[in-house]
Structure 1
Amino acid sequence: MMTLRQVEVIRAVMVTGTIGGAAKLLNVSAPGISRLVKYTEKSLGVRFFQRQNGRYFPTPEAQNIFEQINAVYKKVDDLTEIISKIGHGALSELRIGSVPSISQVMVPRAIERVRRRYPELRIDINILKIEEAVDYLLLGRGDCVAMSYRLDHSGLDFLPLASGELFCIVPEDHELGSRKQISAAEIIRYPLIGIDPTDPYGRIMADIFARKKLKYDITIRARFGTTVCALVKAGLGIAVIDQFTVAYGGFPGVKLLRITESTKFDTYIAVKRGAPLSLHIEHFIHCLRSEMQALRLEQDGPRTPASRIRKKIT
């Protein structure tokens, strides 16, 4: 029985016609090639080559063997090509969902990093409402969903992403535009734009007012944070929004004010319970988590460039 190494060496001699040529092709020493050819012939009881004037010619008896060797070598080449394609993501698809607040800025930044590592990976991105996320995962339509809240569902697992905080956003030319921070009690003095407080995402914003027993009266309700930002930019009121929606200047035309009360909340990646995660999904989760944690570090501490923060986390 021949090993793959013996197959490789015999084929190299067959292709080049010399021991030296085979050694150069395989980047090994010529004596090693010569010894392995002699050992293979002796152990199998088959003469592969006739030696004439320093060149090696296939013997008639070995022609069928060489055909099989070429077939084996082609299979190895095919295997190598498939492995290479898998390494570049060519044969796979990453199917991800995200709530709007994370999809606006953070998901694209994570996808850019995924694309650098897997340049041929097919990617399908869906922006989902909370009621769509469960079916999206349980029916196998997607692999994971980035969420700003977690559900109590026996069929899903929730992996931590990052903690975030809320900001008050005002139009750039608003009378509050010169402020650095604001309290919840001050916020409710102005016309408010926001998400329905009964919505899980809207509840995150409403909670800071509920804790202070303040009336959270929304004069204009919108379904998504991006719409809220657009309404604020148009001068129709002020709002409380999560930091990921407006990260890195993702929504120009509004000013961010830090809220004096604690507004911390947690984000998650939801996956189907028991479903194996591919390397591509795991890498996407890693990239998204590090991007979101980098934003948190940047806003909590000194103004360190985000690229340097990401490098430390990665």
Structure 2
Amino acid sequence: MLTLRQIEVIRAIMVTGSIAGAAKLLNVSAPGLSRLMKYTEDSLGIRLFDRRAGRFVPTSQARNIFDLLDVVHRKIDDLQSAVAGLGRGQSQELCIASVPSIANVMVPRTVARLRQRFPDLGLDLNILKIEEAIDYLLLGRGELVAISSRFDHPLIEFEPLASGRLLCIVPETSPLAIKDKITPQEMSEYPLIGINPKDPYGAVMAAMFTDNHVDYQMNIKARFGTTVCSLVAAGLGIAIIDEFTVAHGVVRGLKSIEIDADSIFHTFIAYRKDLPLSVYAEHFRSLLRQEMNSVSSLKSPEKKTKRRNGRC
């Protein structure tokens, strides 16, 4: 049986008419090709070429074989092109979704890195409410969802993505803008813009005040973090927001202040347990985790130890 390498060499000799020409075409040494050609003919028990005045001419018995070899070679080229296309994401589409807080900054930055690896990959991005994520996955509309809470479901896996903290955001012109840290008591003295306490981030926010025995009044509630930021920038109050929404200073006119209270929250990647993720979805998941951990103010104990020991 001929190997793919033998097929490639035989076709190169057929096209160029000489060992030297085939060696140049394949960018290999001529003596090596000559030995491989002799070995091939000996193995097959037939002579594929006649040697005439230094030229290699296909024998009459082998002409039909050469026609078939040419077809095989074209199919191999088609296969290699198809594989290369998959490596670039050609003719493929990745369907993913995210809750707004992660979609605002983290997802676009992750997509930019994903396109560097798969430049031809098509993308279908959705922004979902938490309650929409299950239908999105179970109905096969997409492969995964970046989400801000988890719950038990027999068909959905919730994999930890990243942890972060809530921050207090104030207008840059506010007297509070000079502060690096603020307490729940101090925040309660200002008009507060926030999200519903029934939301995952809203529950963490409410717990900060409850645990510190501080009464607060939320004058304005907004569903999306981008809306909250715009309201604060308009001077309508201060707000508590997740750090991923305001990462990299994308929202202008605001100052982010660390909160002197437990404000840790967790995010997850949700996907179906019974279906494997595509290589594109796996790569997106990995890049999103890297992107979110790179901006998170939470550091693992191991990282802290290395920093104290001067190893990073």
Give TM-score, length-normalised by structure 1. Answer: 0.91
Hey, what does 1:109 align to over in structure 2? 109
The answer (yes or no) to whether the contact 2:244–2:296 under 8 Å persists in 1 is no
The answer (yes or no) to whether the contact 2:146–2:267 under 8 Å persists in 1 is yes
Hey, what does 1:222 align to over in structure 2? 222
Alignment of 1:239 with 2:265, yes or no, is no
Q: Deviations over 1:64-103 (max 9, x none)?
A: 1001000111111011001100111113211111111111
Counterpart mapping for 1:140-159 below 5 A: 140-159=140-159
Hey, what does 1:83 align to over in structure 2? 83
How far apart, in 2, do the equivalents of 1:300 and 1:183 lie? Answer: 21
Q: Deviations over 1:33-62 (max 9, x none)?
A: 222222222332322112111001112221
Structure 1 stretches of 4+ with a deviation exceeding 3 A read none
SS at match of 1:167: strand
Q: Deviations over 1:205-230 (max 9, x none)?
A: 22211222333421111111111111
CA spacing shift, 1:155–1:217, aligned 2, 3 Å: farther
Hey, what does 1:44 align to over in structure 2? 44
Q: Deviations over 1:117-151 (max 9, x none)?
A: 11011111111101111111111101111112222
SS at match of 1:176: helix
Counterpart mapping for 1:1-314 below 5 A: 1-296=1-296
How far apart, in 2, do the equivalents of 1:180 and 1:201 lie? Answer: 21
The answer (yes or no) to whether the contact 2:192–2:238 under 8 Å persists in 1 is yes
How far apart, in 1, do the equivalents of 2:32 and 2:172 lie? Answer: 76
How far apart, in 2, do the equivalents of 1:78 and 1:65 lie? Answer: 20
How far apart, in 2, do the equivalents of 1:23 and 1:58 lie? Answer: 17
% identity of equivalent residues: 55
How far apart, in 2, do the equivalents of 1:54 and 1:243 lie? Answer: 74
How far apart, in 2, do the equivalents of 1:300 and 1:176 lie? Answer: 26
CA spacing shift, 1:207–1:153, aligned 2, 3 Å: farther
**Amino acid across the alignment from 1:150:** R
**Amino acid across the alignment from 2:146:** A
Gaps of 5+ in 2: 301-311
SS at match of 1:245: coil
**Amino acid across the alignment from 1:225:** G
Note the C-alpha offset of 1:245.
0.4
Deviates more, 1:205-214 or 1:254-263: 205-214
Number of equivalenced pairs: 302
Note the C-alpha offset of 1:169.
0.8
**Amino acid across the alignment from 1:187:** M
**Amino acid across the alignment from 2:292:** M
Gaps of 5+ in 1: 302-312
How far apart, in 2, do the equivalents of 1:219 and 1:300 lie? Answer: 33
SS at match of 1:119: coil
**Amino acid across the alignment from 2:191:** P
The answer (yes or no) to whether the contact 2:166–2:242 under 8 Å persists in 1 is yes
The answer (yes or no) to whether the contact 2:201–2:265 under 8 Å persists in 1 is no
How far apart, in 2, do the equivalents of 1:300 and 1:238 lie? Answer: 27
Deviates more, 1:125-134 or 1:171-180: 171-180
**Amino acid across the alignment from 1:19:** I
Note the C-alpha offset of 1:188.
1.1
How far apart, in 1, do the equivalents of 2:83 and 2:194 lie? Answer: 49
Q: Deviations over 1:146-173 (max 9, x none)?
A: 1122222222111111110111111111
Deviates more, 1:225-234 or 1:210-219: 210-219
Hey, what does 1:308 align to over in structure 2? none
Give TM-score, length-normalised by structure 2. Answer: 0.92
The answer (yes or no) to whether the contact 2:169–2:239 under 8 Å persists in 1 is yes
Note the C-alpha offset of 1:199.
2.2
**Amino acid across the alignment from 1:288:** L
Note the C-alpha offset of 1:300.
6.5
How far apart, in 1, do the equivalents of 2:144 and 2:261 lie? Answer: 32
SS at match of 1:111: helix
The answer (yes or no) to whether the contact 2:193–2:232 under 8 Å persists in 1 is yes
